[in-house]
A = this chain, B = another copy of it.
């Protein structure tokens, strides 16, 4: 198996609606290197044909593809690639099977939704850093909100056999990209009792607490509220646990605050608009504390910018100034 990052073509195995607006895209990618939770890929949200003009034009004349005289007209839908966290990955010899969960928010994701089995997707990756696993006996607390759930699923698959609990939230049940097992007990509207009724986590033996803002499933309120209740009830502090989080910025900030107040280490996977995804364009900057030699200090300031794509996407909660 190839160990180097690179440009690959994935073949779609499945593209399954998980709930309103969220889809799971499973792709087989020959030669894709090993990956870890936290990493992401840059997907070309338009036909890979657009990139391969060299070969195609040289084939002319061909009954299949015309010589496009005026290549200016090859106007794709989404010019730049779009970053997506890995939601899982397995390998079988030379071929990796990778998963992303995408939420339809614009033209790029709208193109992804229309993918069918057998279609091809251009992939750059794997990119970014990874979550650090918990040390012996630490409880891993996975906190995912909305489109931040996918990296938590990948992390869960890596933590099988460890002490893990997941907290997931969505605005409403329709937007919850998780599978509730049919035989499961329905969690109470004010209960934070962890249940094994979320298939994606239960498959790894991991209990989960679900919250929805409107109470349409599980705990009524924000995921940060159920998390806070849990941390308080079980007096979780300091190195006892490590919190992993990904989701909307306001949620991650609150999670980082809850962790900091209790001296619990916290690893945050951030999102930023990205052009390159590999440290060349400087578009994905995020403010962090404690400038060190590898970061640019602002004169007279105690913060600097780091790049979400290469220094991250995973950062320590306490260093982030957002």
CB within 8 Å of B: which residues of A?
A: 20-21, 63, 65-66, 68-70, 73-79, 104-110, 174
Are A68 and B21 in contact, with the CB atoms below 8 A?
no
Inter-subunit contact B20/A66 (CB<8 Å): no
Contact indicator B77/A75 (Cβ below 8 Å): yes
Main SS of the interface on chain A? loop
- CB-based contact B63/A21 at 8 Å: yes
Q: How many copies does the complex hold?
A: 2
A105 surroundings in chain B (CB, below 8 A)? 66, 69
Closest-by-CB residue of B relative to A110 is B66
CA distance A70 to B80 in the complex (A): 13
What is the bound-complex CA distance between A104 and B65, given in angstroms? Answer: 8
Contact, CB under 8 Å: A68 / B20:
no
Q: Is B73 a contact of A106 with CB atoms below 8 Å?
A: yes
Contact of A107 among B73, B77, B78 (CB under 8 A): B73
Task: Please judge, given known A-B contacts A73-B107, A107-B73, whether A21 and B66 are in contact too, CB under 8 Å.
Answer: yes
Closest-by-CB residue of B relative to A20 is: B63
From B63, B73, B79, A77 is in contact (CB under 8 Å) with: B73
Nearest Cβ on chain B to A106's Cβ, whole angstroms: 5
Give, as a whole number of angstroms, the nearest-CB distance from A15 to chain B.
16
Given known A21-B66, A66-B105, A68-B106, contact A74–B73 (CB-CB < 8 A) = no
